Amino acid sequence: MKKERVGGQIACARCGICCEKGGPAFHGCDRPILESGRIALADLYTLRKGEPVFDNVANRLDTAPTDILKIRSVNGVSACLFYQRADRSCGVYADRPLECRVLECWNPEGMAAVYQADRLERKDLISGLPDLWEMVLAHEEVCAYARLSQAVKEKNWETVAYGIRYDFQVRRLMVEKGNMDDRLFDFLFGMPLTVTLQRYGLSPQQIHTMAVGKNS
């Protein structure tokens, strides 16, 4: 957000730019907000370990060193789900996560100090639910980005295709047999591989071909 001086002090001008750029990531101190349901797990998505991501603080492309749990964006735009554009306010201001509380666009040191510290991970929230956590671990074994990125590099399309189909089938079966809210999937399993594998240079057509079982 743009800064302005109030009584000689620097203060937020509520321009909304930071909120328009996307939701914050969560840290250990934010855990009570999620466990209480004040922000629901269905409002989150996971950047999984090894996933290609843009590091906003370092201003470069990188790979996620751990799980990074973030608030979803509004469909079709990058703005945080809770950003209320009409009056440039936050729908969860009283329960906003750490990154929102320390962010000062005119003074990046505060965010830089906490950005990679004590990041909250999926296991912190659901490892106490053994059946669900086992599903997440099984998905991670097949669909780990370290495994898939190496397979893409080696043009091992069989491994890539299996990962894409596994990712799709897990989501489908959890709706059909588990009656699970599909809004939870991007938290549990990260963004669909049909989307994220495009970051490795695969075209939507290549991914679709592998998804339907016709390996390249």
Dump pLDDT digits (tens) for 171-215: 999 999 888 999 999 999 999 999 999 999 999 999 999 998 754
Of 51, 43, 46, 24, nearest in space to 196 by CA = 51
Domain boundary pick from 87, 122, 157: 122
Q: Based on the domain organization, do 110 and 8 belong to the same domain?
A: yes
Q: What are the φ and ψ backbone dihedral angles of 211, each rounded to 5 degrees? A: -65, -35
Q: Based on the domain organization, do 81 and 48 belong to the same domain?
A: yes
Which residue range is the domain that position 131 belongs to?
127-211
What's the Cα-to-Cα distance from 79 to each of 71, 72, 170, rounded to whole Å?
A: 10, 8, 28
Q: Based on the domain organization, do 44 and 113 belong to the same domain?
A: yes
Q: Based on the domain organization, do 85 and 26 belong to the same domain?
A: yes
Q: How many domains does the chain have?
A: 2
Q: Based on the domain organization, do 104 and 199 belong to the same domain?
A: no
Q: Kindly state whether residue 216 falls inside one of the protein's structural domains.
A: no
pLDDT at 196: 95
Residue pLDDT, tens place only, 28-55: 999 999 999 999 999 999 999 999 987 7
What does pTM read for this prediction? 0.88
